[in-house]
Structure 1
């Protein structure tokens, strides 16, 4: 039986690590796109030790640096013949407005634009592998209210939670756009809410954001539990008819990401932003 080739961002901790471990147990070849290669090597050895699956690989990739994303994509283009599963798992929330190496607001860059670029760079491999694209979103998308004239938060006061909510909304917009545009070419796409997971998420927050995370901690679930929906979407059979769906607890859920015009506008603006990198 052919090996399933899976690419995942953010696999060195939390639900990303648990996802990589679970899929390695199912004999997937795992390509971990990571910023910290030393930590990734420790995780790689741990996964191999547990699963006896030696097809675990590390690809350097800093999602705050579009050149690094391009380099990672180029490495994959020369390493594999097809990709069957792409899991856009990495993300983050930032207390203050920061900019990526390329001058994009960090929440937007790390949670959306870098993964958008990765998808487009890998598109030939994804089409060849009839891939599933899995985007880890959040219920925080419900507070996302995008201003397409100010995606970089330069014209209005920056809010960590509002910026994060907007980025998670964009994860679902992206999912639905991929399902619509590339479904006829054999690519399916799914978004999910992993649950309120007890990881290092939000550790850099201050003020009320920090207090909120502290208050929520008793209600948080483990990373292993939080990874279940991602694992389900990566392995379940006969779910292509649900492509474009937003999932919670392994079931399709309602979402506020229903603005088709917003979805198309995001796609067009994102394409403009990544255009200089597509030939890199």
Structure 2
């Protein structure tokens, strides 16, 4: 990865932090993105010390805010003329309904629309570095889910896990649709399931439900190091240089759920995402 420039969102903890460290260890120039300025700077220093790589940058953005996503993209565009790898990793699970600063249900805003908006805003930098790669951290939680266009923001009925699963299905559909649109550009995009990872993902909430989830995660979850392997693989391995629109589990190309292979739904989700972000994209 020497000579490659990689941007990793959600890079201050969990699999995002491990992904960023492993890419830095492989010699890549790494741009860390996180919400907390202190944690971003601490992670940047940590990576430099642990990898001996001084080409590590940190940028601060709350990706649930579309204005913040746009500001981040503009900063990246001002500082860098190309981007070899974009790892869309930031995400969260909310057991109670809440809305972003844009008035959008938080799970959908952070887990899907942030991926959609940031990726599209940085596409020209990815095309400039082709062959380049986009990595989408999704989840096997997408299996059994569907995109409820009639209640996309769970206003009528909210269940945290179901809403999360819908957002992860949206991730896989986004990767599928964008892969189609990027054919012939030299830019690939693939989605992945990292596994059930025992990371800060499960430490963010309070209450009985979160306590149960933490206990279960402690029993069955894998480490962040194990969970980051497929992200690093998709970002760096020559084996997948020309693979696009696929879904990976444990570094293997597997079939996602049938709902994630529906091109009509993927196209409709794209159009809705354009409307919700005010973004005009090429077909």
Q: TM-score range by the shorter chain?
A: over 0.9
Query: In the alignment, what sits opposite 1:265?
Result: 268
- How far is the alpha carbon of 1:144 from its aligned partner? 1.8
Does the 8 Å CA contact 1:192/1:247 hold for their aligned counterparts? Answer: yes
Q: Helix, strand or coil: the match of 1:133?
A: strand
Q: Distance in 2 between matches of 1:152 and 1:198?
A: 28
Q: Distance in 2 between matches of 1:42 and 1:211?
A: 31
Structure 1 unaligned segments of length 5 or more: list them: none
Does the 8 Å CA contact 1:18/1:227 hold for their aligned counterparts? Answer: yes
Query: In the alignment, what sits opposite 2:81?
Result: 81
Report the count of equivalent residues.
277
Does the 8 Å CA contact 2:12/2:33 hold for their aligned counterparts? Answer: no
Q: Helix, strand or coil: the match of 2:8?
A: strand
Query: In the alignment, what sits opposite 2:192?
Result: 192
Deviation digits for residues 85-139 of structure 1 (CA, Å, limit 9, x no counterpart): 0000010000111100001100000001011110111111011112211000111
Does the 8 Å CA contact 2:5/2:29 hold for their aligned counterparts? Answer: yes
Q: Distance in 1 between matches of 2:246 and 2:212?
A: 32
Structure 2 unaligned segments of length 5 or more: list them: none
| 2:233 aligned with 1:232 | yes
Does the 8 Å CA contact 2:135/2:231 hold for their aligned counterparts? Answer: yes
Query: In the alignment, what sits opposite 1:6?
Result: 6
Could you say what the CA RMSD is over the residues aligned between the two structures, in angstroms?
A: 1.7
Query: In the alignment, what sits opposite 1:161?
Result: 161
- How far is the alpha carbon of 1:212 from its aligned partner? 4.1
Query: In the alignment, what sits opposite 1:44?
Result: 44
Query: In the alignment, what sits opposite 2:182?
Result: 182
Does the 8 Å CA contact 1:137/1:172 hold for their aligned counterparts? Answer: yes
Does the 8 Å CA contact 1:59/1:72 hold for their aligned counterparts? Answer: yes
* TM-score in terms of structure 2 length: 0.93
Query: In the alignment, what sits opposite 1:275?
Result: 278
